Structure 1
Amino acid sequence: VMPDLEAAQRATASFRAIALRRSYRSKDVILDGVNRLFAGVYGTDYSADEYLTPAPERGADTTGRGEGPCIELLEPAENTEGAEGAPPDREARARAEMNAVAERLRLLVDGPAEWRPAFRFSGAAGRFEPVGEANRFRYADILVLLRSTTRQPLLEQALHRYGIPYRVGGRGRGLFARQEATDLLLLLKLLTHPQDSLALMGFLRSPWAGLADETLLQLGWSGAGFDETVFRRRVFEGLESGAALELPEGSAELERLAGARALIRKYGAQVDHRPTAAIVRDAIRETGYDAVLAATFRGEQRLANLDKLLRWIEQTERSQARLAAETAAEMERLVSEPPEQPEAALLDPDQNVVTLMTIHGAKGLTAGVVVVPELGSSPTGASPWALMEDGPDERTGILHVKTERVDRTPVTTPGYEQAVERAGRVREAETKNLFYVALTRARDLVILSGDPGTRKPAPWLAAVREFLGEPAGGGAPLLRRRAYPEVTGAVREAGLSAGRASRLRTLPDGWPAPARLFDAAEEAYAAPAGPTPILRYPATTLSAYLHDPPTFTPTAEEAGEEPTPARTPYEDDDDAAAFGTAGHEMLEQLALSGWPGEATALLTALGAARTLDESARGDLLRRVGRAARHLAAETRGAEVATEWPFALKLEHNSVVVIVDGTMDLLITRGGRRRVVDYKFTEEAPERLAARYGLQLNLYREAMARRDSIPAESIAASILAIRREGIDVVEIPPEPGCAARAVEAAQGLYKLRGQE
């Protein structure tokens, strides 16, 4: 839009260009760095009119007064190694980077003078003044700009460890992702669905009741293990003494349990007889829940969030006339998938907190110190499955699509590759503009960080190193590079190490102290764990990798692609893939027609068979004919489904894996089910079972979840279609297949993560 508008304006007779080059935001050492950096990034597009100049009337010409470089780059030390001498994986690198950022912020605010710029913009004076007691850096000066929220939990954890207060601003997923929202949801779910045992357990161990995990275990202990029925009976029916819980009579745990029981009964009886928000407010007052929030890390922010959540409950039930259970259901949806709704704003100007937000929301903002981490990561989404472009007129568009054939080879609509190229150029331009926005928000200091591991540096980090790394023509340096160990050492020398500053504060005078709830609150508000990536692999890949990891070639990893098995000696020849694909397609068509049909005509019509020679075609016809006759007898009187696609979610040890695949044949007869997978192979039955056992068990698990039946009740077999006959290879159930699949996914992920 803007280039078109400029072209139209230039075409007018009265056009005159006025370059707005003066910056009233930043000091000269930052502007010099921005000009040099983006002259390299934009090339000739960064014309003389784009060069920014400082405002002398604001004292922004600080170089002559002794100011040093005010653009910093935090980076790992060279030859960084992780466990057992291997390079650290992405998660470890991200965690180390966020810790370095938090340490640098502690040094800026509380460290020695050499870790601060010489000049800071004074709002009172309206100009850049020397840093001193009357002009100090505060946490409120700091704005952290993230490219995405993926690594935000790691940053929050690091800030928490170093006692740095913060708030989530902008459009980040803040409010409903906070612990306060989860706590309110636990209360609402328990009052509206008292039969929900998970909500009951969460409520009892939260600050609402503050019971220890050991007490919850004893409440449900039946002598042989944890029993949900025993647990609920003891919670709701009560205990006259602590004997059954191995606690002394009158102990604080029993008192809290009795209080929680009374609270549930009291407010559960009021549901849908009083406004939901009024019930929640009364529960807060009775338990002192807000006192717990006030005493925890970021207490003021949590209290503000609590008030905003209560107002959301009021507005929801009033404007939408919802019952308490409907409000709870809506809140559960928002907590499960937090919308872009920020935390409550702290309107007190004296709130001394760091602000976290994404770069996309920062345009037009100004901050004393701007931190831009994760320069080492590249944006994703370079090859979408669908692209929409403008058509020949404004009413029409052109849709480009990328999908897969049955054999998983890609297929695209005409013009797809060219559309991806054009979209890539647009995305590249947008990325440059986003980078420019990030680096032009700061008055006093810009802190950058990034660690690409052993991979080629991402564009932003590469640009900083190339254009700011060495002074141009022997001039003054514009970039100060600091290694993580240097920052960590300075933090230790200054006595600012993690742990000391992150202790809980004491309660203000006059606040209620609800017994030992603070111990539970400290546990409930522990720093969030770093995000575990969701992995996704085909069932065939997981099975083959786990059977024989050395058969995976490293060249695919270097290309950034999913690992694929190398060709193994027992594959027939170079036409094995086309042979198998054609056979699968023929059997699919025969199954859809009830197994009759002319196989020769099918073979002629199939594209996958066109590359086969006459000998291979004859072999394929004979094999498919035998398989069709066998399957016709096997499926007589049964329901048949072919090529059934699925996506299966597995979780093990906090790792989530999405497994996808397509089952060749599903047979259902009299309530009994069988999964059949075709293999055109001469491989021995025992090797087939070993190689594809996990694959078939994952198929079995997917079908079991679809139909809500035990996996072991489903039969699974490989139909080995050979040159001279057919073998049915039965695959026994494997109860631990989910854990083994996750193990395989982690192994594949490490191939890509250990870079």
Structure 2
Amino acid sequence: MIARIEHGAHQGDHLALLTVLRSVLVGVPDAALIPLWRHGFPGLMTDLTPARLDGEQRGERLAELKSRIEAAAAELPGDVPGLDGLRGWEAGLLAAMEHLAVLRIAFESEAADVFIERLRRLFLPEALEAARYLGPYRLANLDRFFRQLSAALEEGGGDPTAILRALRRSVAESREAEEGRPKDGAEDAVQVMTIHGAKGLDFGHVYLLQLHKPPGGEGGLGTEVGRLAEGRFEMRLFGVPTLGFDRVEAERRAVEASERVRTLYVAMTRAKDRLVLLGNWPDGGAAPRPPEQARTHLELLAWRPERPEAPLVELWAAAEASGGAGVLDATGALWTFPALRGGTEAAAGEAERGEAEPPAVEEIARASIRLREHQAAAGRRMDRTWGGAASEEAHERLREELAARRLAEGDEEPRRGRPAPGGGNEIDREAAMALGGAVHRALEEWDLAADPREELARQRIHLPAYLAPLARGEVVERTLPRAEELLDRFAAGRLLERLRGLAGHLVARELPVLLPPRDGDHAPVGVVTGAVDLVYRDPETGHLVIADYKTDEVDDPEDLARRAAVYAPQGAIYVRALQEALELPQPPRFELWFLRADRVVG
């Protein structure tokens, strides 16, 4: 995140740019970095400076940046491992670079809190980190980072160097503190992690498992190279060492011994209330190994001077004599023997049951049926996606409706560029999605305080840049005139007048939505995402209203009513998200603003 801030402030810092590209928020594959540099990508990013370019020039530069990215993507070989999992990275990269250009303008012209909110809204770091392992902790640390960023922006007075210096100093001096942990999330959940992963955290109860287990290794049969302190290299080649490789191994053992002591200390100091150490205690006949020779954490514990002098068998006998499963030593540590816990009760239970009877054939048949049902349910769950769009069901309904209409008209093939019954032309799905995305972006950025004609001209200039990350080639050529026509209709119609009249009552524009899905065989497993186009308060009642822009090519009132029914599931998700997030006593009203028809359908 600091690299993202740094590149937003210093456009020529290519190291920060490289860090941003490889981050999870952008996800450029490593194989694409050299082709990008070869096509002059860093230089173009440097030129995207607010002081150097006006709006039209910035749009032209983004279009050029898009062509360079596509050229770099075309050079990637198809056999790069894992590249299929990053399919579409070039579109994400262009969108991220466009966001960075916006952030550069915001950094120079907007207040600190506005800049931070724009950063969070454009890149959605909270949503990404929440979905990762230990999400609550990541969210808490993100919140702390943004507080530090806000303070640095206020103190730096707009000086990028001072701001970045303050952030780096904060990171260098940071310690895992209470405010870096979630306040109320997952406190009672069981966290399974490595010792290194637990560093900086603390828990009420900590269980350290398999302390007797030695570290793994290849048993000296592999090939490896080591460097001695004086700089000379020694090696083991297919299991055969050079003459000085024993010194390399001795140095490694010393480092591993120190690391073993450190990790044991880290692990044992994570507990606030209770620490449980589990492992097979060494045989009592052998003398404990000193710390520098210990190979396991349990051998380190066995060496401590406060350990019980009695052998393990005597501790066992003492615990058994007390009628329990454990005994306290002189230091107050409780030695527990799981084999003694519940042994009497288990034996009594076995005596009462006698010899176990095999299950009946009918019971086996019923269990087989249940197993098949569970397997089928598990298969259906595995077929479901992790995340889904709030508009997914509505778009599926729309595709079904259009397919049914084409079938009724005797046209079995999807139409591209033919006259549509509702007026205008039908376009393919990619072009329709690009058209909707670009127009939505224009309405989000529309300055309601500006002169409508001047603002329309400004948004028409930006349309190519809005389309660039959404489509390519001929799709852009087909979509741009339609987007311009739709903006012209909006500017000349009643919807812009209505939106300008609501300027003082707006709550949010393009509000991100993230909520758990409903149950169902086709619902996503993890999350539902989306963006609410407009949230405002009704000037008369003060109640919240959700408005969703639609670019559908329909004008007839009956067609509008049918489309409203199609989009009802999407509206229900937005209503549920807002009502649950704000704990509203009643659901907000949902409206559809059909831009081509210049109509609002409630």
TM-score, L = length of structure 1: 0.27
- Specify which structure has the higher proportion of helix: 2
